[in-house]
Chain A
């Protein structure tokens, strides 16, 4: 009797999956509570002179997420979940640093040029796909940038949270008001990251998505192996 074997490739370590799925709801809560706080002094806009192209935020947005009049509530949640966001981020950096996985994540000199080609391919402008390691150049840049953004949020966050005690940090961030602008801009950055991330995950398909939950990806079958074949056989790929 013959048995069909599935070829599976281990992709995301258990630790990475935990970091990812803890970060997702925690960051969502941080962003939402951040909007509750921002509402109390919602002065930011994109525009020039008296012309406003985009106001942060339009009334419809506030009403959709029932944001108005919840400053105290927003601050409470923000200053609880900041610990989880911070600790999860620190542990992630330590883990990738110690395990050596940072090598797969950190972009190098060629990454920036390659990332452009990856983008052209993703937008169906460039036909030929690039050969890639675990993460392509665009992913390396994105996943490293998002960590730097996280660090930026923590630093500007501390500057806004304790501007007297950490006056020097506040000064480094360009002052209290500037620190708040950076903190806000980074948050908008997470939202944009999220949109692109989701689009790419949908594009990459279900098999790719399930690997962030199961840790592995199936890569087709090897038919007609004899039953007594050791089903844990490691084969050298490529």
Chain B
């Protein structure tokens, strides 16, 4: 049994008061701290975002995990037969009705300010890579899907984007600039990251971002932008649609 001690009633009372005061004070302090953080202005006032201290931790998480883990680690791939016939369509931001496939070009803004203007045929000339992997949506569902296209790293090499890929980020936006993402360069150069023009062996459907989209196996689907219009490079984080709305910038898996 426990050690038994004798105290006077006064001593017991005193001990109770001290313990309860400390307890209530600390609980109130924790609640006050939480309310304070909750009520801080969000880091992207117009659209939302998150409270700055929370963002600091999320950015720290990115540092911890991107530095301690191997950025070239491959996502698991599956046999072709595992891929679903009808991939789920989720999100139509930037997929406006007034899009004209005939006039579409990919604009790559280089570090020196020059712009590469590329057609789908230009992209298709580059070595093709296919992948079947478990596509993961940030909402929580996942689906094994089959994609085909050009490795981003092959694309960068073919167009001599050496100065560009030595920068920290690549930014991309839809032709109507309604949707836009920023991707850290190690993830863009990941051997499974595709500039993708095929799904299930056929050209991308309109709602999957025809004619060209990203497929990034090491990120949530929010980073696999559909219908790339422009591509550019930066050492600062390019604007990112969901980041501005309170999501983690890295969103790495």
Q: Is A176 touching B54 in the complex (CB atoms < 8 A)?
A: no
Docked CA distance A151–B218 (Å): 25
The bracket for how many chain B residues form the interface is 35 or more
Q: What is the interface residue range for chain A against chain B?
A: 35 or more
Name the interface residues of A172-225: CB closer than 8 Å to any CB of B.
Answer: 176-177, 180, 210, 213-216, 218-219, 221-222, 225
Chain A residues with Cβ under 8 A from B20's Cβ? 210, 213-214
Q: Which of B106-114, B133-141, B147-155, B172-180 contacts A (4 or more CB under 8 A)?
A: B133-141
Shortest Cβ distance from residue A168 to the other chain B in the assembled complex, whole angstroms: 10
Q: Is the interface of A mostly helix, strand, loop or mixed?
A: mixed
Task: List residues of B (175-228) whose CB comes within 8 Å of A's CBs.
Answer: 217-218
Give, as a whole number of angstroms, the nearest-CB distance from B48 to chain A: 8
- Tell me which of A76, A165, A177, A235 contacts B54 (CB under 8 A): A76
Question: Given A72-B246, A163-B253, A180-B140: A6 and B7 within 8 A (CB)?
Answer: yes
Report the minimal beta-carbon distance from B181 to chain A, rounded to whole angstroms: 15
> Is there contact, CB below 8 Å, between A237 and B65?
no
Distance in angstroms from B138 CB to nearest chain A CB is: 7
Residues in chain B near residue A214, CB distance under 8 A: 15-16, 19-20
B103 within 8 A of A: no
Report Cα–Cα, A46/B15, bound state, in Å.
Answer: 49
Most chain B CB inside 10 Å of its own CB: which residue of A216, A219, A229: A216
Partner of A165, one of B6, B15, B19, B73: B73
Q: Mark B105-143, 1 if CB is under 8 A from A, else 0.
A: 000000000000000000000000000001011111110
Interface residues of A in 1-53 (CB under 8 A from B): 3-11, 21, 25, 29, 37-38, 40-41, 43
Minimum C-beta distance from A46 to chain B (A): 19
Interface of B is mostly: mixed
Q: Would you give the shortest CB distance from A85 to chain B, in whole angstroms?
A: 13
Asked if B102 CB lies within 8 Å of chain A CBs, one says no
Q: How far is the CA of A21 from the CA of B31 in the complex (A)?
A: 13
Q: Is B69 an interface residue (CB 8 A)?
A: yes
B58 within 8 A of A: yes
CB of A73 within 8 Å of the partner chain: yes
Q: Smallest Cβ distance from A159 to chain B, in angstroms? A: 11
Measured between alpha carbons, how far is A77 from B57 in the docked complex, in Å? Answer: 10
Give the CA-CA distance A233 to B3 in the complex, in Å.
11
Query: Are B138 and A231 touching (Cβ within 8 A)?
Result: no
Considering the chains assembled together, what is the distance between the CA atoms of A165 and B15 in angstroms? 51
Distance in Å: Cβ of A184 to nearest Cβ of chain B: 10
Q: A6-B7, A133-B1, A237-B3 are in contact. List 14 more A-B contacts (CB 8 A).
A: A9-B5, A10-B2, A10-B5, A72-B245, A76-B247, A79-B57, A79-B248, A164-B73, A164-B218, A165-B65, A167-B75, A214-B20, A225-B6, A231-B7
Ranked nearest first, the 4 interchain pairs of A and B with the lowest CB-CB distance are A41-B140, A72-B246, A214-B19, A40-B139
Instruction: List 9 interface pairs A-B (beta carbons < 8 Å), by A numbering.
Output: A9-B5, A75-B138, A75-B248, A76-B58, A80-B58, A162-B252, A165-B73, A231-B7, A233-B6
